Amino acid sequence: MTTTNKAKGVYAPVVTPFLKNLEPDTAELIRQCEWLLTQDVGLAIFGTNSEANSLSVREKIDLMDALVAAGIAPDRMLPGTGCCALSDTVELTRHAVRLGAIGVLMLPPFFYKGVSDDGIFASYAETIERVGDAGLRIYLYHIPQVSQVPISLAVIERLLKAYPTTIAGIKDSSGNWENTRALIEGFGPQGFDVFCGSERFLLATLRAGGVGSITATANVHPGPIAQLYRTWERPGADERQGVLDAVRSAFEQFPMIPALKATIAHHAQKRDWRIVRPPLTALDHENAQALSAALAKLEFSMPGL
Amino acid sequence: MTTTNKAKGVYAPVVTPFLKNLEPDTAELIRQCEWLLTQDVGLAIFGTNSEANSLSVREKIDLMDALVAAGIAPDRMLPGTGCCALSDTVELTRHAVRLGAIGVLMLPPFFYKGVSDDGIFASYAETIERVGDAGLRIYLYHIPQVSQVPISLAVIERLLKAYPTTIAGIKDSSGNWENTRALIEGFGPQGFDVFCGSERFLLATLRAGGVGSITATANVHPGPIAQLYRTWERPGADERQGVLDAVRSAFEQFPMIPALKATIAHHAQKRDWRIVRPPLTALDHENAQALSAALAKLEFSMPGL
């Protein structure tokens, strides 16, 4: 990847390993991040697939510090920092910026539903003003089917007008390609970088002018996804996209986070990788076997894990 | 109220006052709690109407400590302690129990949607095991229209079987009377105490065998609501319920939290009471005037505020 001060390419919302007592397994997270980096995939730690909202702010700060202390390059990290409480979002964001993260991925506050565009705008604006760091780069995180709080095009337009440098882009996890395209066409020319939230849309996103994908399955299938990003303008890109889609489809038959963890557990031969924090539940044996079988048919592997 | 180790009667999810810099106004919260207690209303601090999820765990702990330090009786406090992160819920709950709160009101983790009953059960069970205090009394908080994570009758049955003493009751804010009645009839005989989430159902709840109401409007109309609780078996109860309903209806024409705060601001002559944290927005002048006018017609007042 070229040196730049903006995030590009493929990022994994890194799944968070837990010990049997449900504490984060810091050493295993470091190993997983190191492996992802060898696959040319960046570290969107603390995303939805990281069970980020099942971790306290303190736990997230400690994990970020541990990753950096272990030698993980902070500019390969794009931590999720959007919480319900303004004070939490500010603390986590400030810490990420100080560590040198290339940006942060920021959910809107997600407890109250039906909030106004004014309220969403104010949430981001207050955060930006309080963090007060010219180096802050915010990627908005649009995942309405989970957060139940969409980020409208009108809010993005206002934010870009008020904070053109800080508002760096978006992860669109809506699964609605028309929305992704509207974001790229409407705001791309202003330097607003659009990531799709599933590699299913990677080729379409890059062809339309987007910059990459932040995607669950990059946790388990990083190499081929990153390869399509690097080679999308070369012959055979549609076929390579087809291979990615087949693997994605296999995972989508199961609850995503438990399925990702079961797959890592299987390929790393580390049973504890299956552990999730409540309210999630681990994939049961029968479903784990079915997923393994489906992946085996696709000659799926996790080289170097 | 009779001395008991269980919560009964009317509680206000106490609205949280903020300073202009959006920090909690501790002194004003203490004053507000003191006033509510004079009206015979208990303190369900850190509820939905308290903007609890817009506060960090640290902010909530500091506010609880300040209330107790100011002489507020901890056994009149029923703090909301349910967060998305197990670690946060445990920390806040443990603190509330140690301070001597009569119980805690606990949302299920609310970021992930469509989670299983097993996952919800595990969230409460892990919290109970980790807090590890025989004095813990949990009131489940069912508010599916906001949390988007309902608490099913099946989960309650499992929890009551596993933790019959700890699972003390529920606040049903669904607004669905059939659900409230099913809770009272199904679990009341086991000592499971049901609070309705709106005083609109107070008389019906008490007649059916429920124990009271934890309700937004108790922030502004505490005396008459508490009076109906004390006198529901006396003549004229339906008329007294009718008066409560009329005031409730006036508030329901507006976004509830900003409307409560605008009303306190107006009656206490303290303009800053209008302040909310993002993503909420304060009631604008026009709506505040319309609400005041509607309340004036009902001869609404806040004596002693």
Average pLDDT value for residue range B242-252: 98
Give the separation between CA A266 and CA A273, rounded to whole angstroms.
9
Residue B300 scores a pLDDT above 70: yes
Residues of B in contact with A118 (CB under 8 A): 281
Residue B192 scores a pLDDT above 50: yes
Give the domains, in start order, of chain B with CATH numbers.
9-221 (3.20.20.70)
Residue B1 scores a pLDDT above 60: no
Average pLDDT value for residue range B195-210: 98
- Confidence grade of residue B4 (pLDDT, cut at 50, 70, 90): low
Predicted confidence at residue B224, as pLDDT, reads 98
ipTM of this complex > 0.95?
yes
Find where tokens 């202390």 sit: A69
Instruction: Test A22 with B85 for CB contact under 8 angstroms.
Output: no
State the nearest Cα–Cα gap between B124 and chain A, in angstroms. 9
Query: In B, what residues contact A, Cβ < 8 A?
Result: 22, 48, 53-59, 84-88, 91, 108-113, 115-116, 118-120, 122-123, 126, 145-149, 277-281
**Which residue among B116, B118, B279 sits closest to A120, beta carbon to beta carbon?**
B279
Q: Choosing among B49, B81, B83, B84, which should be mutated to test the A contact, i.e. which has the most A CBs within 10 A?
A: B84
**Which residue among B22, B147, B281 sits closest to A119, beta carbon to beta carbon?**
B281
Predicted confidence at residue A4, as pLDDT, reads 52
Instruction: Test A278 with B59 for CB contact under 8 angstroms.
Output: no
Residue B241 scores a pLDDT above 60: yes
Q: A49: nearest CA in chain B?
A: B112
Mean pLDDT of chain A: 97
Contacts of A259 by beta carbon, 8 Å cutoff, 6+ apart: A251, A283, A287, A291
pLDDT-above-70 percentage for chain B: 99
Residue A169 scores a pLDDT above 60: yes
Mean pLDDT of chain B: 97
Find where tokens 């506010």 sit: B63
- Confidence grade of residue A37 (pLDDT, cut at 50, 70, 90): very high
DSSP letter for each residue of A250-289: HHTTS-HHHHHHHHHHHHHT-GGGG---TTS-PPPHHHHH
Residue A133 scores a pLDDT above 60: yes
Average pLDDT value for residue range B52-81: 98
Strand arrangement, sheet containing A212-214: A42-43, A9-12, A212-214, A193-196, A167-172, A138-142, A104-106
Predicted confidence at residue B271, as pLDDT, reads 97
Predicted confidence at residue B5, as pLDDT, reads 78
Residue B3 scores a pLDDT above 50: no
State the nearest Cα–Cα gap between A87 and chain B, in angstroms. 6
Residue A119 scores a pLDDT above 60: yes
- Measured between alpha carbons, how far is residue A110 from residues A153, A161, A198, B114 in Å? 18, 24, 21, 16
- Measured between alpha carbons, how far is residue B9 from residues A233, B1, B43, B76 in Å? 68, 8, 11, 11
Query: Strands (DSSP E) along A147-288, which ranges?
Result: 167-172, 193-196, 212-214
- Confidence grade of residue A2 (pLDDT, cut at 50, 70, 90): very low
Residue A89 scores a pLDDT above 70: yes
Average pLDDT value for residue range B279-283: 98
Residue A188 scores a pLDDT above 50: yes
Query: In A, what residues contact B, Cβ < 8 A?
Result: 22, 48, 53-59, 84-88, 91, 108-113, 115-116, 118-120, 122-123, 126, 145-149, 277-281
Instruction: Test A109 with B53 for CB contact under 8 angstroms.
Output: yes
Q: Choosing among A21, A22, A23, A84, which should be mutated to test the B contact, i.e. which has the most B CBs within 10 A?
A: A84
- Confidence grade of residue A5 (pLDDT, cut at 50, 70, 90): confident
Predicted confidence at residue B74, as pLDDT, reads 97
